[in-house]
A and B are shown apart, each in its own frame.
Chain A
Amino acid sequence: MSEAVIEIESPKTGEVQAAVYEHPWAVRFAHWLNAVSLLVMVASGFQIFRAFPSFGAKIPQKDLLLWPKAFALGGWLGGGLQWHLTFMWIYIATGIFYLGYQVFSRNYRQVLFTPRDVRGVWPMVRYYFFFGPKPMVREVYNPLQKLAYTSVVGLGVLSLLTGLAVWKPVQFSWLAWMMGGFHWARIWHFAVMWAILFFVFGHLVMVVLHGWNNFMSMLAGWKKNPDYLGR
């Protein structure tokens, strides 16, 4: 683990705290850029969906849900498409930048879910959801976090692939074919978005539960007295 630990001393009280550099700049930069572009992609995606809020036939049309205009970006279908087709490039570039950084800096090792993390998932689930005892964690990310952050990268890749199949079902006919054709690609694209939103919801709940010190680590990189230091 490439953690950098420092001690912070308060000259007044003499109190000493530890701080760990958890998130390198590239990760924080990608995180916030991605947060913005994901929000835009979802909101403009709903605008596009509003034009035909169904996955059935056009004749007769049975609407699946009427998404409120207030939660859609772009004003109309053409506007929604403009936002979607603009921010998808930022979304893709951010993803490539993030993955490239993680691989080349070898920083991925602190977050990638590997088979040895499997054992630790259930105790974390029990701790979070069923009042189980707090498992001992000696790393920046616990096994459940690793699972979540690794899966959501996979979902991000899927959102790109399904989106590509919806946007270019002829040029990427093999992609559309793998998804069961254009019609199904559109369904998958929608489903992947909900899966990402499910992650975001859980992520935000955890951020709120873990407080300011934890939140600041994604902004400034440093976290004071993380529990995994065991001090």
Chain B
Amino acid sequence: MESRIDNRKFKRVTRRELLKLAPVLAVGAIAIPKLQEPLLKAGLGFSDWASALLFRSRHLATTFADSEVVPFEKFPINGYDVEDPGVDLEAWTLTVSGAVQKPGQYKLAQVHSLPRVRQNTRHVCVEGWDVIGRFGGARLSDFMQMIGADTSARFVYVECADDYYESLDMVTALHPQTLLCYEMYDQPLTREHGAPLRLQIPTKIGYKQAKYLTDLRVTNVLDKVGYWEDQGYSSFYSL
């Protein structure tokens, strides 16, 4: 019933079993300095690919009652550099270029002329904190229509007065809750929150929501992805 072997043979059996675990050592490749960066980049890239797959273009982020919104002074001001890049609000225009029928300088009044959307949504920072705020502005998708954007292009790229820059995939750019935001708490955007115009995207992480916009380009090619992305953050980071 029970087989009997001598202890030398048993040693061979256990050694063989031990060797069969060698594939586990493959994860040790990540400890090799030369391979570490490309492997982590691949992992991040795979996560971004999965994020894009999971993103539902018609699925709305939860909106909240006015009573759940934090007071304005408790809404954090997160600038990477300066809180006020000194935008000349009177002379400000948004420079539109790329795959659009009507490139050129757009005034704030033109953004104001689009239907205004106000939404109480959660702002999630990559650091881990979150706040529910009240935002108002025009749908980016409406603005895209105004400028005659080719919505089969892949990205919307923006530049800011403080040299910050960002990009959005087209699906997120056309999402109904993605705003060109000019209001917080029903008041014109203050300078430290990105006056006169910022992105507000309840389906994306905070660093995607660039402030003090100056340029907007519709494009298929990105030389740079975003200020933080180019230092190693996720490119897609949808919530």
A residues adjacent to B (C-beta < 8 A)? 5-11, 16-19, 25, 28-29, 32-33, 36-37, 48-49, 51-52, 54, 57-59, 61, 77-79, 81-83, 85-90, 168-171, 173, 177, 182-183, 186, 216, 219-222
For chain B, the count of residues having a C-beta within 8 Å of the partner chain is 57
CB pair B39 A86 closer than 8 Å: yes
CB pair B21 A78 closer than 8 Å: no
A89 to B45, CA, bound (A): 12
6 A-B pairs with the lowest CB-CB distances in the bound complex, closest first: A86-B43, A52-B128, A220-B14, A78-B232, A51-B127, A58-B129
Q: How far is the CB of A153 from chain B (nearest CB, A)?
A: 19
With beta carbons under 8 angstroms apart, the residue of A8, A33, A173 that contacts B6 is: A8
B125 within 8 A of partner (CB)? yes
Residue of B nearest to A37 (CB): B27
With beta carbons under 8 angstroms apart, the residue of A54, A86, A168, A220 that contacts B239 is: A168
Residues of chain A contacted by B5 (CB below 8 angstroms): 6-9
Residues of chain B contacted by A219 (CB below 8 angstroms): 17-18, 21
B residues adjacent to A (C-beta < 8 A)? 2-8, 10, 13-15, 17-18, 20-21, 23-24, 27, 30, 39-44, 46-47, 51, 54-56, 59, 61-62, 70, 73-76, 122, 124-131, 202-203, 228, 231-234, 238-239
Given known A48-B128, A59-B76, contact A89–B2 (CB-CB < 8 A): no
CB pair A85 B122 closer than 8 Å: no
Q: How far is the CB of A211 from chain B (nearest CB, A)?
A: 16
CB pair A49 B76 closer than 8 Å: no
A132 to B44, CA, bound (A): 51
CB pair B43 A9 closer than 8 Å: no
CB pair B231 A78 closer than 8 Å: yes
With beta carbons under 8 angstroms apart, the residue of B7, B17, B74, B125 that contacts A25 is: B17
Residue of B nearest to A75 (CB): B232
CB pair A52 B233 closer than 8 Å: no
A230 to B76, CA, bound (A): 66
